Amino acid sequence: MLDKLNTDAMSDLPSDLHWMPAWQIREAIVTRRVSAIEVACHFIERIEKFDRRLHSFFTVSGEVALDQARAIDRRIDRGEPVGALAGVPVSIKDQFWTKGIRTTSGSRIYADHVPEEDSLHVARVKAADGVIIGKTATPEFGTFWRTTGRVAPECVNPWDPRCTSGGSSGGAAASVAAGFGPLALGSDSGGSIRLPSAMCGVLGLLPSNGRVPQHGSLGSTMFLCSAGPISRDVRDAATLLQLLAQPSVDDSLCRLDEPPDYLSGLDDGIAGLRLGWWEDQSISGQVDAAVISAIKKAAFGLGSLGANFVDNAVTFNTQGVDEAWRVLDFVDRYAALGKSLYTDPLARRKLTPYARERFAWAKGVSAADYSRAMRRRADFIRSFEAAFRSCDLVLSPTLGFTAPVIESVGPAQRIPALVAHTLAVNLAGCTAASIPCGFVDGMPIGLQVIAPPNQEALVLRAARAFELAWPWVGRKPNV
C-alpha cells in the first residue's frame, strides 16, 4: 500500500514516534515537525510488519487513514483550525460501526458487513480529526473473555504471545500496548476494557452507565455496557473521553447534561482524598498471592501522595454477582441481536460455540430470574453507595493473576476469579479504570480505581497522580 504513495521526502521522524502519547503526536503535527501523512504511514507500516504475530487488528483501514491524514495536512497548511485529535491514529473496536470500513463484531455472520454510517463514537473521533487506523479484534459480539473466534486467529499478548490479551477489547488493548497507536476505542459491560488493559499493561477506563451514548455498536448491551478509551497516557484518555461523553438526544439511556472538563483538574493530585481497599476473599484460592501483594503495595503507595486509607470502608458481599450479571447482560444481548440470529438455522451454524451457548441460555431465562437479578443489582448499588459515604475512591485488583497462557486455560476455568472485581462495578453503574501498576514474572498487572457514578474526573485525577509518581511507560514489550 505505502509504496504507491506520491509524497514528498519523508522527514526525520522521531525514533520513538510509536511510543509517543497522542497529545505529543498532535503537537508535532500542528507545529509541522512531522506531517499527518508521515504519522499515518509510520503506524500503518508498523502494524503491517508486526501485527501478523499478534493479530490485534481485523482490518487495517490504510487508504481511509491516508485520505484523512492528507486532508488534515492541507487544513494545517492553510492555517485552518484542527481538532483535539488532529492526525492522531485511533483504532476502533470492531463492534462499532465505521462507514465504508468492514465491521464484523467478531462474527462470521457479519464477515462482509460494511456499514453505511459511523457510530456516534466514531463520528466524534472523526470530528476531532482523529485518523481511523483500523478495526481491532473482538470475540463474537464481545461475549468472551479471550479475543478468539472464527473471523481471524486469536489475538495474543504483546508481552508474551503464548498468553491471552484478554477480552473482549483484547485487540484494542494489545494494539496500544504494542505501539500500533496511542489511543483505542473499546467497550466494557463486565470488564471488557479493564481486564485486557490490565493483562496488556495499559490504561483502560470504564465510564459510568449513561455517560457515553451507545448508538452504533453491533452486539453491545445497552444496559451495562459503556464505550471508553484505552491508552498509555492519562491525558490521552481524558481527551478521548471528553469527546465521547458529550450528550446525545438520540440515545434514551444517555445523560443529557454536559460533562465536566476532564483535563482541567487532571494535575490536582489526591491529597486529602479518602481511599478504601477492596479485596474479594471468596476467590483467595484462585488468585496469585504475588500478584495481589504487588497490586496492594501499589495501591497503598498512594498514601505517600497525601491520600488517607479508611479501614474497613468496603465490605462487599459479592455472592451471586456473576449470576446477576449473566442474566442482565445475556438477556440484553439476546433481545437486541441473539433472538434473530439464534432462530435462523443458517446464522446459528455460523455462531461460535460460546456465543451459541450464551444465546441458548438467555432464551431460557424466566421473568423470576430477571427479577432476582435486578434485586441483586440493587444490592450492589447500595453496597457501593455505602462505601462511598466513607471514602472517595475504592481501590482493588483489576484481576488477581497475570494474563494466562492460552493453552493452559479452558473456557470455564478461573472465570469467577477473573471478573470478581469488575462485574459489580458495571452492575452498580460506577466508573472505574485499570491502571498499570507493575509486573510479576515479566507480565503486567493492573490496579482498579473505582468512583461513584459520573465521577470520571476523579478516577482520571487519581490515575494521573499515580502516573506522575510511578511512570509506567518506560518498560515496553518486545514488538
Catalytic residues: 93, 168, 192
Distance, CA of 105 to CA of 135 (rounded, Å): 10
Residue recorded with cell 503526536: 25
Distance, CA of 5 to CA of 37 (rounded, Å): 10
Taking residue 21's Cβ as centre, other Cβ atoms within 10 Å add up to: 20
DSSP label of 252: T
Which three-class secondary structure state does DSSP give residue 192? coil
DSSP label of 140: G
Residue recorded with cell 465510564: 207
Identify whether the C-beta of residue 147 lies closer than 8 Å to the C-beta of residue 170: yes
91 closest CA partner among 190, 179, 191, 188: 179
Distance, CA of 131 to CA of 66 (rounded, Å): 8
Identify whether the C-beta of residue 327 lies closer than 8 Å to the C-beta of residue 365: yes
386 closest CA partner among 479, 278, 224: 278
How far, in whole angstroms, is CA 217 from its chain's centroid? 14
Helix, strand, coil % over all residues of the chain, rounded to 5:
40, 15, 45
What is the bridge-based pairing of β-strands 308-309 and 274-277?
Answer: parallel
Distance, CA of 88 to CA of 455 (rounded, Å): 27
Instruction: To the nearest 10°, report the CA torsion of 120, 123, 125, 130.
Output: 160
